Amino acid sequence: MKVVILAGGAGNRLADQSEAGPKPMVEIGGHPILWHIMRHYVHYGFNEFVVAVGYKGDQIRRYLMDYYTSQRDVRINVGSGAVDFLTDDVPMEWVVDVINTGLGTETGGRVLRLAPFLGDETFMLTFGDGVSDVDLNALLACHRANGRLATVTAVHPPPRFGELHLDRDEVVEFSEKPMESGWVNGGYMVMEPGVFEYIDGDETPLSPEPMRRLAKDGQLTAYSHKGFWQGVDTLRDKALLEQLWAGGSPPWRVWK
């Protein structure tokens, strides 16, 4: 089963971090977000990827093309250009189609452009700007059990601010614990090819309109995930994930 990763965005709210490259190439713990996402999928046995690129997509293409060499010790004959690999210990195998889906194409449009590369089979889909410890096998089982065209992973987004408990103008309690909030689409989706019919063209975002139409037709279901999930939209989000990675046991690192 192929895994689609939408990696065409610029990530304007990450300031200078994204000016140097596409948002999925912003690093956490010395590795691009894209790498973290791929490691997650590979852990569950999904190692065929279709990466939809746009903004500075050549950087993603170059990173993946150089990955094999960059992860190994090498002996280089400068005179002849011959290269011998001294180690063979890269822990993952992946097959990746990197597809240019346009600079200004919306998320739904990018998915539609990938239709020729996905065929008539079920595929997984996620955004290239967030990490989670969602059980991908359980997500797929939920999708198959419900028999709908699309399944999204529903998450409770973490709050950005502490919660104040007030008695008139007095703060009686200050809590940093998450506040109760509604479910949102955290990415990590499973879709059938029939979803393409709900996307009009390049100008169509994946949400809200295609999702609304799928829901109206009874073709959208949700897998509820109560574990870790964190999008990377701001420098604050990046700093949080860097801190968790530095602690040695980041909650999204399900692989060994």
254 closest CA partner among 231, 229, 236: 229
What's the pTM value of the predicted model, to 2 decimals? Answer: 0.87
Distance CA 55, CA 148 (A): 32
Indicate the pLDDT class of residue 238, thresholds 50, 70 and 90.
very high
Residue 174's pLDDT is: 46
Contact (Cβ atoms closer than 8 angstroms) between residue 35 and residue 43: no
Indicate the pLDDT class of residue 11, thresholds 50, 70 and 90.
low
Condensed to tens digits (0 to 9), the pLDDT of residues 65-111 reads: 988 778 788 889 999 989 888 876 655 678 999 999 999 999 999 99
Given a cut of 80, is residue 224 above it in pLDDT?
Answer: yes
In the chain, which residue ranges form alpha helices assigned H by DSSP?
A: 16-19, 33-43, 57-70, 107-113, 115-118, 136-146, 209-216, 235-246
Given a cut of 70, is residue 119 above it in pLDDT?
Answer: yes
In 44-181, which residue ranges form alpha helices assigned H by DSSP?
A: 57-70, 107-113, 115-118, 136-146
Distance CA 222, CA 143 (A): 8
Distance CA 255, CA 43 (A): 6
Condensed to tens digits (0 to 9), the pLDDT of residues 159-215 reads: 655 554 455 554 344 455 545 556 788 899 999 999 999 999 999 999 889 998 999
Across the range 22-26, mean pLDDT stands at 92
| Torsion angle in degrees (nearest 10) through CA of 139, 46, 3, 118 | -110
Distance CA 144, CA 219 (A): 12
Indicate the pLDDT class of residue 20, thresholds 50, 70 and 90.
low
User: What is the chain's length?
Assistant: 256
CATH of 2-152+182-246, one of 3.40.309.10, 3.20.20.80, 3.40.50.1820, 3.90.550.10: 3.90.550.10
